[in-house]
Amino acid sequence: MTLRLGDTAPDFTQDSTAGPIHLHEWMGNSWCVLFSHPKDFTPVCTTELGEASRLKPEFDKRSCKVIGLSVDSLTEHEGWKGDIEETQGTALNFPLLADGDRKVSSLYDMIHPNADNTLTVRSVFVIDPNKKIRLILTYPASTGRNFQEILRTIDSLQLTDHHKVATPVNWTDGDDVIIVPTLSNDEAKERFPNGWKELKPYLRVVEQPS
Ligand code: BEZ
């Protein structure tokens, strides 16, 4: 099944370094980043898991839980955790799914056979508290992801949900944003009483709401 934005994130039960995880129940009312790793004891993945652990307070600020996946066993995960702490200076502080039976990687289409038959690609799914998929990224095994970009996309999604704004090219937190085209000027006046800059009727720039 191809997963698309707006689809309900498939629920699953799978073992993890934090015990068995039932995704929807584990998420509760939080956002979630679910991301896959091609294999345990591989260099790029080791750096990514260190960085994601270092950034856990940033994910917490956004009410976002983080969960990794690799298609190896819990025993291998436990050994790898030691290497991550030793080499990255941070202990793994979120669950890593042990997807040896490929249950979750198949459900989320994380194995791309023309890239590699057995390893997963580097997938990222951002899932909202309603369990809807809001963002999908796919990177090849050889390219480590940019976790600042993942945080940036969560900020953007949360701003859209709360304030009816979209974020322009290269936006980062604090920059001006754009009033969504579906909001009429009358509705915009209520939401943005200090006004906005209208470059075109469809391009209305406003200070980032807090
Ligand atoms: C890595 O994580 O370093 C890696 C994994 C699979 C293929 C290439 C690199």
pLDDT of 189 reads 97
Question: Quick one: which of 2, 5, 13 has its CA closest to 128?
Answer: 5
Looking at every residue in the chain, the average pLDDT score rounds to 97
Ligand 1 atom 2 nearest Cα: 44
Residue type, 106: S
Cα(106) to centroid(ligand 1), Å: 19
Residues within 6 Å of ligand 1 by CB: 38-39, 42-45, 119, 141-142
pTM score of the predicted model: 0.96
Q: What is the mean pLDDT of residues 169-196?
A: 96
Instruction: Give the residues across from 36 on adjacent strands.
Output: 69
pLDDT of 157 reads 98
pLDDT of 117 reads 86
pLDDT of 35 reads 98
Of 23, 34, 45, 69, which one is the catalytic site residue?
45
Reply yes or no on whether the pLDDT at 77 is more than 90. yes
Task: Report the 10 Å Cβ neighbour count for 184.
Answer: 10
Ligand 1 atom 6 nearest Cα: 141
Instruction: Tell me 165's DSSP state.
Output: E
At 83-125, the pLDDT tens digits run 999 999 999 999 999 999 999 999 999 999 999 988 999 999 9
At 28-59, the pLDDT tens digits run 999 999 999 999 999 999 999 999 999 999 99
Note if 64 is an active site residue.
no
pLDDT of 51 reads 98
Quick one: the chain helix, strand, coil %, rounded to 5?
30, 25, 45
Cα(117) to centroid(ligand 1), Å: 14
